[in-house]
């Protein structure tokens, strides 16, 4: 690689408050255009904003989670620019005195991504392009945002994606945002420049705005690297500019010259007094923070013996991890984790469904089912069949189990059945030892027939492999 990437991110995150940042309009997503706005969030002359206290507290919690310093004094500011979706011709934001300064996040490779600041601001409206017309929906105008600004510490696309995933998981865990990129509640601006490896000076950067998916972020970074490298290799100069991303082509295009802070003519917002957040309130908010997903992941793997893959799925969604911790009581944790991430997740596939995890089968009822499976009183096939019935009715496992279902095969009996199956299927054993892995199914099938389906097929397979010396 002839050029080193230098990347900084500005991530805009919509906060999950019930009302907007400066008025009482709802923040609910998906309303009919221009039905969730008022004279304040549309910036009518004479309207006066009133800062939503929850916005300040949510932003402070984000800052504490990311290791930043929450300032006891911060100031709202006017950021001036002219665009059709911004009726006032200025956005109420923060500038030289933001709510949070500093902070950072460590990546898996040990590198630390520093944070410059986290500030609160209002979202503008939304331009809607349809049928050759441009229309404006002001429902989004006044939605509360935090903007999380990093230092230019990223050196690869993979580092950016890891940071974004960890950020998304952390903010969801503390309940300040749903971070649904497909709904625009988490959007990313990517600043990228190139320099020769070993150089310390930064190159000229471009900013690609409003990237609303991990796929878009990755594609924009790849395209911008190739575009800028081609310019520099040809002896040209990269222009500092703002660029737009086209999801259909995977390309960026120039939209306007890149502004610096002076271009926005920031000055303190005269209609909102200085924001004071006392130290006692900051400490109170710190005390409300839950166990962080990365800490929970380490506990699940190190203390509970859950696989890292399952632990990552469980800890990605706060509601799921809380459900797991109730369902796992007096059950082998690995068994409970695997059942949730396979059988249950097969029915709940979207981000929104898992974020608002509320299955018909309560954690207590699942625990009852898993105990029976863990004690070999039922096999996995029976457990899955009974779970489906529980999911349809909300009833406990015992309502769908007969005496015959409960006649499971204990460990000693299973070993004897496996030995008998090995003895009567000598050819299949020889075929398996010769590399024909499918031959193992015939031996397992013999055990299942002998047990009349009561044995656990996975347990039988492991026992057979141990007895014939073919453990994996």
Strand pairing report for 126-130 and 90-94: unpaired
pLDDT at 212: 93
158 CB neighbour count, 10 Å cutoff: 14
Instruction: Map residue 259 onto helix, strand or coil.
Output: coil
Name the DSSP letter for residue 31. Answer: P
Pairwise CA distance, residues 82 & 124, whole Å: 11
* pLDDT-wise least confident of 95-109, 220-234, 268-282, 412-426: 412-426
Tokens of 325: 């911790």
Contact 338, 344 (CB under 8 A): no
* Residue matched to tokens 């310093």: 69
Residue of 2 and 23 predicted with greater confidence: 23
The tokens for 101 are: 């300064």
User: What mean pLDDT is reported for the chain?
Assistant: 92
For range 248-258, the mean pLDDT: 85
Measured CA distances, 460 to 302, 376, 445 (Å): 27, 12, 9
* Angle between helical axes of 279-287 and 53-65 (0-180°, round to 10): 70
Distance between CA atoms of residues 450 and 269, nearest Å: 80
Please check the confidence at residue 364 and state whether its pLDDT lies above 80: yes
**DSSP, residue by residue, 418-452:** HHHHHHHTHHHHHHHHTT-TTHHHHHHHHHHHHTT
Q: How many CB atoms lie within 10 A of CB 383?
A: 22
C-alpha–C-alpha distance, residues 122 and 440, integer Å: 62
| pLDDT score of 324 | 97
86-97: per-residue pLDDT in tens?
Answer: 999 999 999 999
1 pLDDT band, cuts 50/70/90, is: low
DSSP-derived secondary structure letter, 425: T
CA gap 17, 58 in Å, rounded:
8
Supply 137's token pair.
């929906």
Shortest CA distance to 344 belongs to which of 376, 299, 314?
A: 314
pLDDT digits (tens, 9 = 90+) for 159-187: 999 999 999 999 999 999 999 898 889 99
Residue 306 has pLDDT above 90, yes or no: yes
Task: Report whether pLDDT(73) > 60.
Answer: yes
**Residue 62: exposed, middle, or buried by beta-carbon count in 10 A (0-12, 13-18, 19+)?**
buried
Sorting pLDDT into bands at 50, 70 and 90, what band is 258? low
Tokens of 268: 């303190």
Q: Which domains does the chain have, with CATH numbers?
A: 4-285 (no CATH), 291-400 (no CATH), 411-467 (1.10.10.410)
pLDDT, position 259:
63
Per the model's pLDDT, the better-predicted residue between 439 and 351 turns out to be 439
Q: Confidence band (pLDDT; 50, 70, 90) for 409?
A: low
Residues 225, 156: Cα–Cα separation, whole Å: 10
Specify the pairing of strand 206-211 against strand 241-246: parallel
Residue 261 pLDDT > 80, yes or no?
no
pLDDT, tens digit, for every residue of 339-352? 999 999 998 888 77
**Alpha helices for 18-99 (secondary structure H):** 53-65
> Given this model, what pLDDT does residue 183 score?
87
């Amino acid at each position: 690689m002839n050029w080193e990437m230098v990347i900084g991110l500005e991530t805009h995150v919509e906060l999950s408050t019930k009302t907007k940042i400066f008025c009482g309009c709802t923040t609910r997503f998906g309303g009919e255009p221009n039905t969730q706005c008022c004279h304040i969030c549309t910036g009518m002359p004479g309207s006066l904003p009133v800062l939503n206290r929850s916005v300040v507290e949510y932003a402070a919690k984000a800052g504490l989670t990311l290791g930043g310093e929450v300032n006891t004094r911060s100031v709202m500011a006017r950021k001036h620019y002219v665009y059709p979706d911004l009726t006032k011709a200025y956005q109420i934001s923060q500038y030289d005195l933001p709510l949070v300064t500093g902070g950072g996040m460590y990546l898996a490779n040990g590198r630390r991504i520093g944070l410059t600041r986290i500030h609160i601001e209002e979202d503008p409206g939304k331009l809607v392009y349809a049928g050759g017309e441009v229309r404006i929906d002001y429902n989004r105008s006044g939605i509360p945002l935090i903007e999380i600004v990093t230092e230019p510490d990223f050196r690869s696309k993979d580092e950016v994606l890891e940071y974004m995933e960890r950020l998304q998981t952390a903010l969801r865990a503390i309940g300040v945002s749903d971070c649904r990129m497909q709904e625009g509640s988490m959007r990313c601006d990517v600043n990228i420049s190139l320099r020769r490896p070993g150089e310390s000076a930064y190159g000229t950067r471009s900013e690609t705005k409003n990237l609303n998916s991990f796929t878009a972020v990755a594609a924009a970074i790849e395209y911008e690297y190739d575009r800028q490298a081609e310019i520099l290799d040809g002896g040209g100069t990269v222009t500092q500019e703002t660029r737009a991303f086209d999801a259909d082509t995977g390309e960026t295009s120039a939209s306007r010259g890149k502004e610096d802070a002076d271009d926005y003519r920031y000055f303190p917002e005269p209609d909102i007094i200085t924001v004071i957040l006392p130290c006692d309130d900051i400490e109170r908010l710190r005390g409300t923070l839950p166990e962080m997903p990365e800490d929970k992941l380490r506990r699940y793997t190190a203390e509970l013996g859950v696989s890292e893959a399952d632990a990552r799925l469980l800890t990605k969604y706060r509601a799921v991890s809380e459900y797991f911790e109730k369902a796992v009581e007096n059950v082998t944790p690995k068994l409970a984790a695997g059942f949730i991430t396979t059988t249950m997740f097969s029915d709940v596939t979207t981000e929104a469904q898992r974020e608002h995890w509320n299955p018909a089968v309560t954690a207590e009822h699942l625990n009852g089912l898993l105990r029976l499976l863990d004690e070999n009183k039922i096999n996995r096939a029976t457990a899955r069949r009974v779970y489906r019935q529980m999911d349809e009715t909300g009833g406990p496992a015992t309502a769908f189990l007969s005496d015959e279902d409960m006649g499971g095969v204990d460990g000693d009996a299973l070993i004897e059945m496996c030995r008998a199956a090995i003895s009567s299927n000598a050819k299949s054993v020889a075929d398996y030892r010769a590399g024909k892995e499918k031959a193992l199914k015939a031996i397992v099938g013999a055990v299942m027939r002998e047990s009349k389906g009561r044995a656990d097929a996975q347990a039988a397979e492991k026992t057979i492999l141990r007895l014939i010396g073919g453990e994996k």
